[in-house]
Amino acid sequence: MNEELINILNSIIANATPLVIAGLGETVSERSGVTNLSLDGSLQLSAMAGFAAAIASGNLLVGCVAAMIVGAVIALIVVVANIELRQDMVAIGFVLTLLCADIAQFLGQDLAGQRMQPMTKLNIPLLAEVPIIGPVFFQQPAIVYVSYILIFAIWWWMFHTRGGLAMRAVGERPETAFARGTSVNCLRYVYTFIGGALVGLGGAAYSLAIKPGWTTPPSMRGEGWIALAIVIFGGWHPFRVVLGAYLFAVLRALSSAIQRSPDIQIPLVLLNMLPWLLMIATLILVSSGAIDRLLSIMPRPLQKWTRNFLRSDPPAALGTRFEQD
């Protein structure tokens, strides 16, 4: 396999990482029934805060922790406003997404142009030596390995522990969960908090590793919306969400490769629109009747697999408030 291709794959994995982490975070909170619509603003503000903290302390880890705290606090505002103050989650999330983007730009005005050594690539002993897989997956910045761990940890927690069962129950049938003695709102607090912290870590992944530094306007503007769409595309399942994020990164890499090649002439304007066209197209695919029509023309053995793969049903109680007292 040629070296250039391996380099491209390596950068695809790296570029997808913030979306992977933020998408997983949103999956966690949405699975417990809370829509945190503030993602786009959260990512920007936590990226800014993480970068600022890392510069001030000279320590990347401090930056990551600061970003996680910012993300978690924003998520906490959403859930407190919803549970305690009975405000619409969408409204609060929406205001927060605009507000956080503005705060990030305002407070980050002096950070633009400042430099700091970003996370360096770290080779995992043994694994990094495996041909192809090693250079693609295991010669990456530390944050990428964190994302691998998160993928499996969240999947395992969600589907193989009692805690995960309770979390899903709270998002699907809060009344039933409550009747069985689960504290619905308490769990929603916990998982939205964790989800927000992960979104914050996603922000740090941009400013401290993947797109180091801070610019005005921020380079990750708009990515939060893509992450939200990926969660829908992923049908609220961690593996599929991650797959969505990687697919997205692959298509982006392809489009920029096409742009560089002299043989194919595709207008730049179309390439810049591509992520958004893709977002709309995937949402059409998973939310319209297109899947059912696609299924009906497929051979039977393939049907079940495709359905499981493409079906995207939100948690039944997503976005609804639960009266606990």
CB 117 to other proteins: min, Å:
25
Residue 139 is encoded by which pair of tokens?
């010669």
CA atoms within 13 A on the CB side of 212: 14
Q: How far apart are the first and last CA of the chain?
A: 62
How far, in Å, CA of 37 to CA of 85, rounded? Answer: 17
How far, in Å, CA of 180 to CA of 101, rounded? Answer: 41
CB 276 to other proteins: min, Å:
4
In Å, what is the CA distance from 137 to each residue of 11, 17, 255, 263, 271? 10, 11, 22, 30, 27
Residue 136 is encoded by which pair of tokens?
């693609």
CB 88 to other proteins: min, Å:
8
CB 175 to other proteins: min, Å:
11
Torsion, Cα 33 36 39 41, to 10 degrees, reads 180
Measured from the CB atom, is 118 or 222 closer to other proteins? 222
Measured from the CB atom, is 5 or 273 closer to other proteins? 273
- Phi then psi for residue 159, to 5 deg, are -110, -5
Residue 268 is encoded by which pair of tokens?
């730049």
CA atoms within 13 A on the CB side of 126: 0
Measured from the CB atom, is 244 or 275 closer to other proteins? 275
Measured from the CB atom, is 117 or 256 closer to other proteins? 256
Interacting residues with other proteins (CB under 8 A)? 37, 77, 81, 84-87, 90-92, 94-96, 98-99, 101-103, 105-107, 109-110, 216, 222, 225, 228-229, 232, 267-269, 272-273, 275-277, 279-280, 283-284, 287-290, 323, 325
How far, in Å, CA of 143 to CA of 64, rounded? Answer: 10
Residues 6+ apart with CB under 8 A from 15: 210, 249, 252, 253
The conformation of residue 211, written as its DSSP 8-state character, comes to S
The conformation of residue 206, written as its DSSP 8-state character, comes to I
Q: Are strands 139-141 and 121-123 parallel, antiparallel or unpaired?
A: antiparallel
CB 59 to other proteins: min, Å:
21
Residue 87 is encoded by which pair of tokens?
């405000």
How far, in Å, CA of 30 to CA of 8, rounded? Answer: 32
Give residue for tokens 């499996």. 152
Measured from the CB atom, is 141 or 275 closer to other proteins? 275
Measured from the CB atom, is 67 or 77 closer to other proteins? 77
